[in-house]
């Protein structure tokens, strides 16, 4: 029976990847901004308008996740993820019939689409962590890897692979994407489940401390207890700074290459695709590194290296090769946020209420998703270049590293070994 459970737990990972591939399409927004901001096209949106649609999606994603985390802890991941997929698909499908209306696109792509992502996102993470106490870092990375890889796939579908935007327009592409999202997420949701109470992998025991005692169990705090701790707010603010930097780059990288660097839309779009691909890779690698470095010091290293790239990015936009290198670097580090911050949440506040607690932590992503992209859009509209926005983002990453260094886990007493 135990071996059957071990074998089945990998199906949860498969379901998680299928779901996250679709949810990650929010990061493909940069593939739409050029056509939306084209002064000769039908939309003629400003940089701030395209930023608000993207940021509304991120904010809705984060806010809804507070409730979704609690619901999936109560009702299980399958039903909540299914609802999320249907809401996400509906938002994009309806947007396919809204024409050039900015308010309607803000509502259906931003708010409704973001809400669907928020309903579905936490379910695979919480389920995978419970099935894999022996491989928390690796599996957390795998569970969210599809989110980054999905952005790469949908950027390519919109552009060079199938030229959906060129052939079917913005609205037609939304319609196609919405159908894909609804069908795929529902299929992936049926593979999700929670393990039985008290279940653990065959042959696995919790690790011991150096003196032979069992490592202390982290106290399982409720969402209400978690948000009252200093640790929560340190983790939250660090996440705001780190995620806000990456989300700003995702929104503006293609425009940076084309408008400021003088590259072709195809060349800049390829760099954006690489960012999405390395976003997925970074989630797995940083999650795996956390086994050696701990989640805390992995966050420190990730934020410092991200800050270094932001300082030099302004010099890398006028060459296809250098912009591609920068995109890979930035995407790789940005992806690490989504493997490491769930682990920080788990290590500080316990596994029982991980869905609800990470939902609260994840509101930082929504705040960063507003501050970073909107700031970059405002800087571009005011100055005609992104240099100042990149410097601000670099300083924010340094602040995130400092907060992570100062973080002290909530102490618990170790149990004597049996």
User: pLDDT value at position 3?
Assistant: 42
Q: How many CB atoms are located within 10 Å of the residue 403 CB?
A: 22
Q: Give the burial class of 410: count Cβ atoms within 10 A of its Cβ; 0-12 exposed, 13-18 middle, 19 or more buried.
A: middle
Name the token pair of 106: 């803000």
User: pLDDT value at position 269?
Assistant: 82
User: pLDDT value at position 2?
Assistant: 43
Nearest to 227 by CA among 97, 117, 129, 362: 362
Residue that the structure tokens 């997420």 belong to: 185
User: pLDDT value at position 411?
Assistant: 64
Rounded to whole angstroms, how far apart are CA atoms 117 and 97? Answer: 21
Backbone angles phi, psi at 415, to 5 degrees: -90, 145
Domain boundaries, the chain: 8-195+219-406
Give CA torsion, residues 25, 377, 338, 16, to 10 deg: -10
Q: Are 359 and 122 in contact (CB under 8 A)?
A: yes
pLDDT in tens, the chain (418 residues): 444 444 578 999 999 999 999 998 887 888 898 899 999 999 999 988 998 898 899 889 888 988 998 899 889 999 999 999 999 999 999 999 999 999 999 999 999 999 999 999 989 988 998 899 888 888 888 888 888 778 888 988 998 899 999 999 999 999 999 999 999 999 999 999 988 887 888 888 876 655 545 555 678 898 899 999 999 999 999 999 999 999 899 888 888 888 888 888 888 888 888 887 898 899 999 999 998 888 999 999 999 999 999 999 988 888 889 999 999 999 999 999 999 999 999 889 987 888 889 989 989 988 898 899 889 888 888 888 889 999 999 999 999 999 999 998 776 544 444 4
Residue 287's contacts (CB-CB under 8 Å, 6 or more residues apart) are: 137, 138, 139, 140, 141, 142, 336, 339, 340, 343
8-195+219-406 is a CATH 1.10.10.10 domain: no
Nearest to 119 by CA among 40, 183, 168, 189: 189
User: pLDDT value at position 418?
Assistant: 40
Q: Are 18 and 120 in contact (CB under 8 A)?
A: no
Residue 390's contacts (CB-CB under 8 Å, 6 or more residues apart) are: 310, 311, 313, 314
User: pLDDT value at position 416?
Assistant: 42
Alpha-carbon separation of residue 62 from 24, 119, 128, 239, 353 (angstroms): 14, 9, 20, 12, 17
User: pLDDT value at position 5?
Assistant: 43
């Amino acid at each position: 029976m135990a071996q059957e459970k071990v074998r089945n737990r990998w199906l949860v990972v498969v379901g998680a990847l299928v779901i996250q591939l679709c949810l990650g399409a929010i990061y493909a927004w940069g593939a739409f901004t050029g056509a939306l901001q084209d002064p000769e096209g039908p939309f003629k949106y400003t940089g701030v308008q395209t930023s608000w649609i993207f940021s509304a999606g991120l904010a809705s994603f984060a806010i809804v996740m507070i409730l979704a985390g609690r619901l999936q802890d109560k009702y299980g991941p399958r039903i909540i993820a299914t609802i999320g997929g249907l809401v996400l698909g509906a938002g994009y499908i309806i947007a396919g019939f809204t024409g050039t209306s900015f308010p309607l696109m803000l509502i259906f792509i931003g708010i409704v689409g973001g809400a669907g992502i928020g309903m579905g996102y936490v379910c695979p993470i919480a389920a995978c962590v419970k099935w894999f106490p022996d491989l928390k870092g690796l599996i957390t990375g795998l569970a969210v890897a599809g989110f980054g890889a999905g952005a790469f796939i949908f950027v390519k579908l919109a552009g060079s692979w199938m030229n959906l935007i060129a052939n079917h327009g913005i609205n037609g592409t939304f319609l196609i994407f919405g159908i894909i999202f609804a069908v795929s997420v529902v299929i992936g949701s049926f593979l999700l489940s929670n393990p039985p109470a008290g279940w653990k992998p065959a042959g696995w025991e919790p690790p011991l401390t150096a003196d032979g005692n069992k490592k202390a169990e982290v106290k399982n705090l409720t969402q209400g207890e978690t948000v009252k701790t200093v640790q929560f707010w340190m983790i939250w603010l660090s996440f705001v700074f780190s995620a806000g930097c990456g989300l700003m780059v995702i929104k503006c990288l293609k425009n940076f290459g084309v408008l400021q660097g003088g590259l072709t839309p195809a060349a800049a779009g390829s760099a954006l695709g690489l960012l999405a691909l390395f976003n997925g890779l970074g989630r797995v690698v940083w999650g795996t590194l956390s086994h050696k470095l701990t989640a805390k010091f992995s966050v420190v290293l990730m934020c410092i290296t991200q800050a270094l790239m932001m300082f030099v990015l302004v010099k890398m936009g006028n060459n296809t090769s250098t912009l591609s290198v920068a995109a890979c670097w930035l995407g790789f580090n940005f992806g690490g946020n989504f493997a490491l911050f769930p682990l920080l949440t788990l290590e500080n506040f316990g596994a029982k209420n991980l869905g609800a607690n990470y939902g609260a932590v994840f509101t930082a992503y929504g705040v960063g998703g507003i501050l970073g992209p909107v700031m970059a859009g405002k800087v571009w509209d005011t100055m005609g270049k992104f240099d100042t926005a990149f410097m601000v983002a670099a300083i924010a990453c340094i602040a995130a590293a400092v907060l992570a260094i100062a973080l002290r886990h909530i102490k618990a007493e170790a149990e004597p070994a049996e």
